[in-house]
Amino acid sequence: MKMNPVYKREMMVSARSLRMSLIITVFNSILAVVALLNMYSNVVQVRITADVQYGSFLDLYEFVACVEFIMLMFIMPAITSGTISGERERQTLDLMLTTKMKSWEIVTGKLAAAFVTMFLVVISSFPVIAMVFVYGGITWGNVAQMMACYVVSALFAGSLGICCSSLFKRSTVATVAAYAVLALTVAGTFAVNMFSYSMARMDLNTAAYVMGNMGGVTVNSGGFLYTLLVNPAVTFLVILQKNAPASTTGILQSYGSREPGLVMNHWVLVSMAVQLALSALFFLIAVKTVRKKGIGRNA
């Protein structure tokens, strides 16, 4: 099977760069130091109290998982938002567009290269996650679920980045736009739910009713909860909560209790499907706009 030329070139150039080796080294060094400190504190605790807190070993898993997720969400847009606009700035995009390469092949090559680069970093941290298995509490199924979440989140953030890169002429503008949309997706949906939940709780009639009936009526953020389906951080937290229930209280319950339903019962699957659909939409926009000159470019 023919390898995508853009992907091949990106990987070749990336392999020659010192940047990737440096990111992997620094990232894994931090994780390793934190893991060793965590184990050391557990051992010291056992020596002092003679009480083995097995649950505390799961803190390590949570920490590593959180760091990796945050890194994915921060680094993916940074890597992808300069891809198409960078080619425009270097004036190499026109050369590629005059060849037999299709727009979707260019976008796919760029996205795949960023995706593989990112996952090289994630996979390189597996030895640290493996330390958790020494004490138990986390299954391969949990790790697989977390990996699926990473894949979807990376695709989401990457597609968003590449979409902005295709839409805007300058890489700096594309990067700012990608982070702005991502912040709106993550923080914005939380904020909307918080606001909606606060308004519901402040409703005087409801408040009086609740006080009179000692919580007989449930108050929640209403339909705004479903905006959290587009939020990869919520998906991640729901998975993390199931994996390590002792440390994270239900994120979905933070905005009021609800009756179980199809979406609530299969939140992870539904949210991943929604995020994949959005990723596909971003990808399509990127493909459609790659031949355009980009917003901010003179005719």
Residues that bind another protein (CB under 8 A): 2-3, 5, 8-9, 12-13, 16-17, 87, 90-101, 291, 299
Query: Is 8 or 266 the residue whose CB approaches another protein more closely?
Result: 8
Query: Is 93 or 228 the residue whose CB approaches another protein more closely?
Result: 93
Query: Is 86 or 222 the residue whose CB approaches another protein more closely?
Result: 86
Rounded CA separation 54/73 (Å): 30
Q: Output the smallest distance, CB 105 to another protein, in A.
A: 9
Q: Output the smallest distance, CB 94 to another protein, in A.
A: 6
Rounded CA separation 29/132 (Å): 17
Query: Is 39 or 101 the residue whose CB approaches another protein more closely?
Result: 101
Rounded CA separation 186/191 (Å): 9
Query: Is 7 or 282 the residue whose CB approaches another protein more closely?
Result: 7
Rounded CA separation 256/166 (Å): 40
Query: Is 59 or 87 the residue whose CB approaches another protein more closely?
Result: 87
Q: Output the smallest distance, CB 290 to another protein, in A.
A: 12
Q: Output the smallest distance, CB 79 to another protein, in A.
A: 15
Q: Output the smallest distance, CB 96 to another protein, in A.
A: 6
The runs of H, that is alpha helices, within the chain are 5-16, 18-49, 57-80, 83-90, 93-97, 103-124, 126-130, 140-167, 171-183, 189-202, 204-213, 232-243, 262-265, 267-289
- Judge contact between 159 and 152, C-beta under 8 A: no
Q: Which residues, 6+ apart, have CB-to-CB distance to 124 below 8 Å? A: 24, 27, 28
* Tokens, residue 205: 């009639």
| DSSP state string for 136-187 | -S--HHHHHHHHHHHHHHHHHHHHHHHHHHHHBSSHHHHHHHHHHHHHIIII
Residue 74's nearest CA partner among 113, 118, 112 is: 118
Question: What is the longest distance spanned by two Cα atoms in the chain?
Answer: 74
**Range 87-93 contact pairs with CB under 8 angstroms and sequence separation of 24 or more:** 88/169, 88/293, 88/294, 88/297, 89/169, 89/170, 89/171, 93/290
Q: Output the smallest distance, CB 291 to another protein, in A.
A: 8
Query: Is 47 or 100 the residue whose CB approaches another protein more closely?
Result: 100
Q: Output the smallest distance, CB 4 to another protein, in A.
A: 9
Query: Is 120 or 217 the residue whose CB approaches another protein more closely?
Result: 120
Q: Output the smallest distance, CB 273 to another protein, in A.
A: 34
* Tokens, residue 112: 């795949």
